[in-house]
Amino acid sequence: MGAFSYIISSTLFLQCALTFGSDFSPASWEVLRRIIEILAESMFRDSSLREKHRSILDKLAWQRSLGSTKAKFVAATPDGKNKGVRDAAGEDVDTPHDMFVDDDLYADVCDKTRVEQAGAASVEAIFTVLGHSELAARQDPISWDKFVEMPVDWRNRALGTDIDTRRLAARTPESYTKRTVAILEKTWHGGNSTRHTFLINEAEVLAGRLGYNADTQPWLKFVMSSMYASLAHALGSSRAHLVRTDRDFRALIKHVRKDLRFHRIRDEGDDAHGKPARTSDSKREHGFALSQTSKRIHHSRKRFQMNRTLRREVKLVHHALQSKWIDPWRPLGHMIPRDPSATAWSDSSLSAAGGFSYDMGFWWYIEWPQDIAQRTLRFVSSNKDGALVTMNTLEYASLIVN
C-alpha cells in the first residue's frame, strides 16, 4: 500500500486493492481474471445487455469486406483436444473469453448480433467485478480506446501479433520484421563483413527481436540457440576484460565473493564460531555490488569480433527474413496443443540414417557421405580440433530430413 500511495490536496490515499494500469501482474489478479472470463461467457444469453450498452456498441468499427461471398476460408479440423465451437445439438456455443492479463480477447463468426452480444457481455462482466464507470471517483475500469479503435475485422493485430481468421494463421507484423532486417544491415552488416565487431547490448537487442519473430517463424528458434551461445561467450569475455582493466570492478567482485562466504549465517547475532552474522547493511551492499557488476558487464563498450559461425547465422537470418518464398504466416494449428495428424520416426547411426511413417506412407534411407563418415567416432577419438561430427548432430540431421 505504501508503494502505491499518493496525496491529492491534503488527503493521503492508500490503495487496498489492485492498482489499475500497473505494469505488473500480481497473482491476486488471476482470481479476478478468471471470474471476468466466466461471467462474460455466462452473460452471453442476456440479450438486454446490447441495449444497456448500445451507446458504446454503436461506436464499433466494422471492416467493409466482412460477409463477402468471395472470401476464401481455411477450414479448421477438429481433434481430440479441439472439438469445435458447436454443442452436441449443432448450435453455436456462447462466445468464450480469454484474458491476457487485463485484455479480454474473443472472436466470433461474422454475425453482428453475436459480436455485439459478446462485447456487451464483456463490458458487463468487467463492470460487475471492478465497478461501473465513475470518473469523478476513480479511473475507468475499461479502456474504451481499445474497444472502439480496434475494428471488427477478419485480420487484426492483437498483443503485437497479426491474426488472420480467414486463413487461420498468425505472423509477426511486417513493420517489426522490416525493422529487424534494417538492424541486421546497419549494425551487423547482414553478416557479410569479415571484420565486423559488436557490443554486448547490440547482441542483446538482436536476440530480443529475433525471439519475438520466432514466435510465428519457428525456423528461427533452431538458429538462435547458436546465436545465444555467441552472446554468452561475449559476456564471459567482457567480464574477463573488466577484471583485467577495471580496478573498481575487481573490488566489486571481491566484495561479492567475500559476502557469499557468509550467505548461510543467521541474519541476527553471531554464528556458531562466534563470527558476526551478516547485517542488513551488508545485505544491501551485497545486492548493490551484484547489480553494479551486472550493469558493467552488459554496458561494456568493449567490442567483440564476430566469429565465422555467427557471421554465417546472421547472413542466413538476414536473407530468410526477406525471402519471398518463406511464408511469414504460421498456421494457428501449429501454435496450439493438437493431436498430430501423422507420426513419423527417424534414427541415425555412424554410417547412415533413415526414417518412416505409416500414416503418410513413406520411408527413406541415406548413407552418410565419406567426408562425414570419416569425422565420426569410428575415425576421430576426440574433438580437440573441432573436426568430430557427433552422434547428436547425425540424429538431428535425420530429424530434419524426416
Pick the closest to residue 126 from 144, 109, 113, 112 (CA basis).
Answer: 144
The most confident of 20-24, 107-111, 134-138, by mean pLDDT: 107-111
* Average of per-residue pLDDT values in the chain: 84
Encode pLDDT of 286-337 as tens digits: 666 667 666 766 777 778 878 888 888 899 999 999 999 999 999 999 999 9
pLDDT at 51: 96
Residue given cell 534494417 in the structure block: 182
pLDDT at 54: 95
Polymer length of the chain: 402
More confident residue, 88 or 117: 117
* d(C-alpha 46, C-alpha 116), whole Å: 12
Encode pLDDT of 192-248 as tens digits: 877 788 888 888 888 889 999 998 988 898 888 878 787 777 667 666 766 676 676
- pTM value is 0.71
* d(C-alpha 265, C-alpha 246), whole Å: 31
